[in-house]
């Protein structure tokens, strides 16, 4: 069973990114359990976890949110590549936080990034996915944590 502090670490990693990168903290919405197929926005950054826990953690966000985020970061390049880089960065921050807190127990992969296409997600059998909506300004993204 996933522990609260583990879930918090992933959530904090995500909200912290917004706070540091855009000087505007994100808030988290009402968390719930994922039923059925994972919901994906336009861009997704994902890390694979193995070791004490197995599964995936990913951050998925709509293009509009990422565009505003890039603007707030004083970027002028809103290309497809920039968007990919950005969700990759968020995933990187999440993975850094997790390494800091559970370095001993977790083996965490380098982030992989998906855009548009349906990502290949190997969710472990028996693990339910927690969906934590991430609200920032008027936009919403999702953090999905699915670990045994």
Partner 1 sequence: MLLSGADRNRRLLTAAAGILLAAVMGLVLIVGFRLATQIRASVGTLQQASELEAYPSAISEQLTALRQRLDTLEYTGHVHGELDSSVRGFNRDFTVLEHQKGLDPAAMHAATALWGNYTPVLAKVLSYHGEPYSDTATNSSLSRSGRVYYAHVRRAELFAQANAAALHGELALVSASLQARTAAAASRLRWLLSGGVLAVLLLGLAAAYLQVARGRGERAARDAQDQTRDILATVREGLFLLDADYRIGAVWSQALTSMFGRSDFAGLTFEELLRDKVPPETLNTAMKFIKLLWGERAHENLMKSINPLGQLEVSMDNGRGGKETRYLQFDFHRVMGPKGVKHVLCAVGDITSSVLLARELHEAQENAHSQLDMMVGMLHSDPLQLGSFLDSASAGLKHVNAILKEPARTHAEFSKKLAGLARELHSMKGEASALNLMSIAQRVHHLEDMLAELKGRSELTGNDFLPLVLKLDELLAHLRGVREMTLKLSSLREQPDSPEGTISAPALRSATAGPEELTATLQSLARKLAQDHGKDFTLALTGLAQCPPAYLGTLKDCLIQMLRNAAVHGIEADEVRRAGAKNGGGQVRVEFRRVESGYELTFEDDGAGLSPEALKEAAVRKNLLSEEQAAQLDNRAALALIFKPGFSTRNEVSMDAGRGAGMDVVARAVYGLGGRIGVSTNPGRYTRFKIALPAVDETAVA
Residue numbers at the binding site for partner 1 (CB under 8 A): 1-4, 7-8, 11, 27-33, 35, 99-101, 103-104, 128, 130-133, 135, 140
Q: Give me the least distance between CB of 100 and partner 1, in Å please.
A: 4
Closer residue to partner 1 in complex, CB, 27/73: 27
CA–CA dist 85, 33 (Å, integer): 28
Q: Hey, which residues does 111 pair with through a beta bridge? A: none
Q: Give me the least distance between CB of 16 and partner 1, in Å please.
A: 13
Closer residue to partner 1 in complex, CB, 27/122: 27
Q: Give me the least distance between CB of 117 and partner 1, in Å please.
A: 25
Query: Exposed, middle or buried: residue 133 (CB in 10 Å: 0-12, 13-18, 19+)?
Result: middle
Closer residue to partner 1 in complex, CB, 43/130: 130
Query: Exposed, middle or buried: residue 70 (CB in 10 Å: 0-12, 13-18, 19+)?
Result: buried
Closest CA to 47 of 129, 101, 113, 126: 113
Q: Give me the least distance between CB of 8 and partner 1, in Å please.
A: 7
Closer residue to partner 1 in complex, CB, 33/79: 33
CB 45 within 8 A of CB 111: yes
């Amino acid at each position: 069973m996933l522990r609260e502090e583990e879930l918090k670490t992933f959530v904090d990693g995500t909200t912290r990114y917004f706070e540091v990168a855009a000087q505007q903290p994100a808030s988290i919405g009402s968390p719930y359990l994922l039923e059925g197929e994972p919901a994906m926005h336009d861009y997704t950054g994902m890390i694979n976890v193995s070791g004490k826990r197995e599964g995936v953690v990913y951050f998925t966000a709509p293009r509009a949110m990422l565009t505003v985020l890039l603007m707030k970061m004083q970027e002028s390049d809103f290309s497809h590549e920039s968007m990919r880089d950005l969700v990759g960065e968020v995933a990187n921050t999440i993975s850094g936080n997790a390494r800091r807190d559970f370095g001993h127990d977790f083996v965490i992969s380098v982030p992989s990034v998906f855009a548009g296409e349906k990502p290949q997600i190997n969710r472990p059998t028996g693990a339910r996915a927690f969906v934590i909506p991430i609200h920032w300004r008027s936009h919403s993204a999702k953090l999905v944590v699915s670990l045994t």
